[in-house]
Amino acid sequence: MIDAKLLPLQKAVLQPVAEYLTRRGVRADQISLVGFFAGLFAFVALCFGSFLAALLLILVNRALDGLDGAVARIQGPTDRGAYLDIAFDMVFYALIPLGFAIADPVENALPAAVLIVSFVGTGSSFLAFSAVAAKLGRQAPEFPTKGIYYAGGLAEGFETILVFVVMCLLPDSFPVIAYGFAALCGLTTVIRWRQGWVAFSGDDR
């Protein structure tokens, strides 16, 4: 919901770091891989109930997710980089609720499953819209630096990470948080379905 508004701040914070890493020969894809493994270790930490360690690794994952894009814009964006960015993110978002489910199957398995299904809704509606928009040569003016078309919604990247942070800080409240955010993701999915229905209907209405 506010991802586009955060882009200038993100650029101001990450640009000096990206320039430093570029001078040292670090590639954007390398940063993407390190970030993904940080997310993978966050999942492992959650499985063992190490919620603060998981929180730190989640924040590292998200910082590197922004940093790889900043480096790519300096070095020149690539199709592989855009692909890896989305592919890694989709797995990461699913791993976090799964980690909570493994940590406490009795309390967390069902809400985690519901949340993951809601992520399938937001992710698939996002990617389907992006694929058709790319075919039609459309671009998202709110996200001019992204490698693919970004369709907004109520539940975007910032809101998802904020929810993950709260879950790690209040792990006993995971079921309530998961159900609440799943509802928001469901509403986002429906909104994107409607956006696609209107945008690709073949008329201007």
Those residues of the chain that have pLDDT short of 50 are: 143, 204-205
At 110 the pLDDT is 98
At 151 the pLDDT is 59
At 115 the pLDDT is 97
Residues 6+ apart with CB under 8 A from 45: 51, 53, 54, 57, 99
Residues 112 and 12: their CA atoms lie apart, in Å, by 35
Q: Helices in 48-173 by DSSP H: which ranges?
A: 51-75, 79-103, 105-135, 157-169
At 156 the pLDDT is 76
Using DSSP's 3-state secondary structure scheme, residue 93 falls into helix
Q: For the domain bounded by 3-199, which CATH number is listed?
A: 1.20.120.1760
162-171 residue pLDDT tens? 999 999 999 9
At 41 the pLDDT is 98
- List the chain domain ranges: 3-199
At 148 the pLDDT is 58
46-55 residue pLDDT tens? 999 999 999 9
At 190 the pLDDT is 93
What region, left, alpha or beta, does residue 27 occupy, with left being phi > 0 and alpha being psi -120 to 50 degrees? beta
At 146 the pLDDT is 53
Residues 110 and 196: their CA atoms lie apart, in Å, by 30
Picking from 204, 97, 196, 86, the residue whose alpha carbon sits closest to that of residue 151 is 196
Q: What is the DSSP letter of 147?
A: S
